[in-house]
Structure 1
Amino acid sequence: MPDCGGRYRLGVDVGGTFTDFLVTREGEEPRIFKTLSTPRDPAIGLIAGLEEIAAAYGLTLAALAGAIETIVHGTTVTTNATLTLTGAKTGLITTKGLRDALEMRRGIREEQYTNRYTNVPPLVPRYLRVGVGGRLDRTGAEVAPLDLGDVGEAIALFAKEGCQAVAICFMNAFANPDHERRAAELVRRRMPDAYLTVSNELLPS
């Protein structure tokens, strides 16, 4: 008999080796489940764990999903990809003159007095960081129009180099997202299969 009584609360931690689950219901002891993680597609390991939980409670996966009140998800997938530099090949479009901000890192040095210290490589190599014409001031007023020709050249470079993802981050876009939106439209048209991240969408003002 399916055990549908009570609402379920799930905590999920997707790690590099295991995906761990904590399931609670009011009036019951918490239960722990563990499945192997699937680094190529973390969702596979996650679904496998949910299926195991559903079976333990005599439910279908759909019935369990409908009975979940809260799900809290944590993962080290992004952290691991960042540390090992194994994420998607990415191109960055930014305001002309600012493409090296990733490497300058606000001048921070972990080893301030070590002359031979080498910083961790940036997530996007310099040849895939492209500055384009166009500028907004801190209020969002246009100082120079967006150069869509520059944007098109950046997209052509990314396509030629086999980039799987594109990031767009213009100076002061938080005050006026117009330039970023227009650049994003061009990327979506010319690289429809690329994963696109736009700063004003990632962190709206």
Structure 2
Amino acid sequence: MEIIRFAELKAQPWRNGGGVTRDVASRPKPGAEPGAADAGTAQDGAWDWRVSIAEVSKAGAFSAFPGMDRVLTVIEGELLLLSVDGAEHPLEKYRPFRFSGAADAAGALPTGDIRDLNVFTRTGSFKGYTSIIELSKKRAHPVFEGQFGILLQGQATASLGDAEPEAAGPETLNRYDAVVGSDTATPEILGRGFLAVVSIDRLPG
């Protein structure tokens, strides 16, 4: 079972100084130069998909990502007023919103700083989805291949269910830790709080 610990992720500052981003996971684009995906926060071209968590502390323009689709979800704070190609969209907490990465986008912070979860996928190659679910202490939530389970709020543990060795107990999750899904040894998450389930689907063709 693989867990990506948020505390170990490197913060990368935005070009406009309006916030920082931490990459949770990404898939390098075939043929990309080694290490090029690390520059993906600033510009597209080095990855086919990317999951990241950003802290937004100042109103301003968002970086453009031509050739990408984007799903943005406010996960901390009350409201992001997002402008996409001149149309305003008030984004409340835990309400995913999909838009083109090539759009002229900017954000305002009427209620203060926010943190958001971003899922980028290359148009025509992959499709990204974000679902917010409430965890249960009685029924474990599985995380399958092509998915990430990210703890947004509350307390939770991850284990391999029936496949877990007796000597190995469940792993405690901290806020924003991500559990990497699998179909062969499927992790299960138990607890109380809210979980973001990010799915990355490869499109046919």
The alignment's TM-score, normalised by the length of structure 1, stands at: 0.27
Q: Which structure features the higher share of strand residues?
A: 2
Give the number of the structure whose alpha-carbon radius of gyration is greater.
1
Which of the pair has the greater relative contact order for Cα pairs under 8 Å at 6+ separation?
2
Q: Which structure features the higher share of helix residues?
A: 1
